[in-house]
C-alpha cells in the first residue's frame, strides 16, 4: 500500500526543544524568545492606524468579486512597479511558501530533484514532499567572514534529475547576499543544464550597509522565478500577500506563467481584500521598509557587539535578521540537548545550528527582539 502524507505526518514527535518550551509554559515560566520573536510585538509594526484605514478601503473595493488567477491587475501593477518588471510577469500568491510549491510542482515531475542551499532555513523538505519532488543540497562555503555559494559545488550536485536551483539571497540564517560573480556562474550552470533558478529575496529590504541584492535575470539566467511578499518587508505576515515574478527569456517566462495561471485558477487563494490592499500599502507605506531596515541594522550591530564583548568572534551579516554564532569557540555546547536544558533552567530560547545544517557548535538567534539580550546568561548556561 502506497505511503500517504496523512500517515507520515500523523506520527510527528516534538523535538527536545519544543518539549522543553512546552514544559516551561505549562508551569508558567516566562520564555525569553531569541529565535521566533514577533516583530509586531518588538516595535517593528506597520502603522496600525494607517493599516486600519487601508484595509477599510480594500474591503470596500473588494465587495464585488472579480477573480483573476494571476491576481488583480491593480495589485500586479503595484508589484511590478516595486520589482521593475511588467505586470504580466507577476503571479500573486498567499505568501512565498505557496509560490515555492507552485514552482516545484510545475517545474519538476514526481521524483525529480531541486537543489537547495545548505545550511538554510528548514522549509524545503516539507514543501518538496508536498510537490512530490526530492531535495538535493549544495553546500555553501564559509571563508571566515561570510557564507558563499560555490558554483563548482552547485554543478557537482546537479544530476540528470535536477530541475531547479534554489537561491536564498539575502540568505537565511547566515545573512550573506549572493554576489554578481556567484549569480553569473549559477546562470551559466542553469543554461548548460536546462535548469530554472528559484530566487528567494524576502529579506531584500534589510541589508546592513552598501551591499545590493542582485537578481539572477540581471546576469543572464534563462528563467528565474523571484519570490517576495509583505510578511518581512512591511511586517504584515497576517495579510498573506506574496508574489512570484518570472524573469529571463520571454518565451520561457510566458510558458511558465501560462502553466502557473492554470495551477492558480482552481485555488484563487489570495483574498480580494488582500489584493486590493497591496497597491495601497505600496503607495502609503513606502517609507516603512526603510524604517525597519535602519532599526534592524542598529539591533544587529548591537547584537554582534554583545557577543564580541563576551569573547565570541562574530561577523556582521550582510543582511537579514538572523545571526549564526559559533559558541563552541568559547567552550560552550550548542546542540539540541544543551539548548533544551538551557530553556528549562533559564527560559532562554535559541535554536541549535543543526536545525539549519550549520556546523556543530553553532546556535542561531535573531535581532528582532528588543535589546538587551541575555547573551551572557545564555553563554554561561551553555558552558555548564
Summarize pLDDT for 228-258 with one digit per residue, the tens.
999 999 999 999 999 999 999 999 999 999 9
Q: What is the pTM of this model?
A: 0.96
Quick one: pLDDT at residue 384? 86
**Cβ count near 125 (within 10 Å):** 11
Q: What's the pLDDT band for 9 if we cut at 50, 70, 90? A: confident
Angle of CA points 350, 177, 89, to nearest 5°: 110
Tens digit of each residue's pLDDT (9 = 90 or more) over 31-79 = 999 998 889 999 999 999 999 999 999 999 999 999 999 999 999 999 9
- Round to whole Å and give the CA distance between 25 and 29: 6
The CB-side HSE value for 291 (13 A sphere, CA atoms) comes to: 12
The per-residue pLDDT for 8 is 77
Q: Over the chain, what is the mean pLDDT? A: 96
Strand residues in the chain grouped as ranges (E): 32-33, 90-93, 113-118, 134-139, 141-142, 147-148, 162-168, 196-200, 223-229, 242-248, 322-326, 348-349, 351-352, 362-366
Domains of the chain: 5-45+288-383 (3.90.1150.10), 63-284 (3.40.640.10)
**pLDDT one-digit tens code per residue, 119-163:** 999 999 999 999 999 999 999 999 888 999 999 999 999 999 999
pLDDT tens across 315-362, in order?
999 999 999 999 999 999 999 999 999 999 999 999 999 999 999 999
pLDDT of residue 1: 45
Amino acid at each position: 500500500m502506497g505511503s500517504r502524507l496523512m500517515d507520515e505526518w500523523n506520527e510527528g514527535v516534538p523535538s527536545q526543544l519544543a518539549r522543553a518550551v512546552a514544559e516551561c509554559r505549562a508551569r508558567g515560566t516566562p520564555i525569553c524568545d531569541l529565535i521566533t520573536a514577533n516583530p509586531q510585538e518588538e516595535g517593528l509594526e506597520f502603522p496600525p492606524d494607517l493599516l486600519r484605514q487601508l484595509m477599510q478601503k480594500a474591503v470596500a473595493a473588494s465587495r464585488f468579486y472579480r477573480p483573476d488567477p494571476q491576481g488583480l491587475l491593480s495589485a500586479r501593477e503595484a508589484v511590478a512597479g516595486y520589482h521593475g518588471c511588467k505586470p504580466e510577469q507577476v503571479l500573486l500568491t498567499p505568501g512565498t511558501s505557496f509560490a515555492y510549491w507552485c514552482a516545484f510542482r510545475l517545474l519538476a515531475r514526481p521524483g525529480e530533484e531541486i537543489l537547495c542551499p545548505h545550511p538554510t532555513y528548514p522549509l524545503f523538505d516539507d514543501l518538496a514532499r508536498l510537490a512530490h519532488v526530492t531535495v538535493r543540497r549544495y553546500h555553501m562555503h564559509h571563508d571566515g567572514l561570510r557564507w558563499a555559494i560555490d558554483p563548482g559545488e552547485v554543478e557537482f550536485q546537479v544530476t540528470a534529475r535536477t530541475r531547479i536551483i534554489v537561491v536564498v539571497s539575502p540568505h537565511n540564517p547566515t545573512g550573506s547576499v549572493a554576489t554578481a560573480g556567484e549569480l553569473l556562474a549559477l546562470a551559466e550552470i542553469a543554461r548548460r543544464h536546462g535548469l530554472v533558478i528559484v530566487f528567494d529575496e524576502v529579506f531584500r529590504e534589510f541589508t546592513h550597509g552598501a551591499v545590493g541584492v542582485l537578481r539572477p535575470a540581471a546576469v543572464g539566467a534563462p528563467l528565474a522565478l523571484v519570490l517576495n511578499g509583505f510578511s518581512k518587508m512591511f511586517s504584515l505576515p497576517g495579510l498573506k500577500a506574496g508574489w512570484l515574478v518570472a524573469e529571463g527569456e520571454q518565451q520561457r517566462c510566458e510558458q511558465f506563467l501560462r502553466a502557473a495561471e492554470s495551477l492558480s485558477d482552481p485555488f484563487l487563494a489570495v483574498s480580494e481584500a488582500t489584493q486590493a490592499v497591496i497597491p495601497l500599502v505600496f503607495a502609503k507605506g513606502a517609507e516603512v521598509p526603510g524604517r525597519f531596515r535602519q532599526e534592524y541594522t542598529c539591533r544587529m550591530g548591537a547584537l554582534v557587539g554583545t557577543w564580541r564583548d563576551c569573547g565570541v568572534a562574530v561577523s556582521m551579516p550582510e543582511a537579514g535578521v538572523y545571526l549564526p554564532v559559533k559558541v563552541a569557540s568559547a567552550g560552550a555546547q550548542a546542540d539540541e540537548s544543551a539548548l533544551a536544558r538551557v530553556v528549562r533552567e533559564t527560559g532562554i530560547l535559541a535554536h541549535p545550528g543543526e536545525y539549519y545544517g550549520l556546523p556543530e557548535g553553532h546556535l542561531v538567534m535573531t535581532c528582532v527582539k528588543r535589546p538587551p539580550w541575555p547573551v551572557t546568561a545564555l553563554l554561561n548556561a551553555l558552558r555548564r
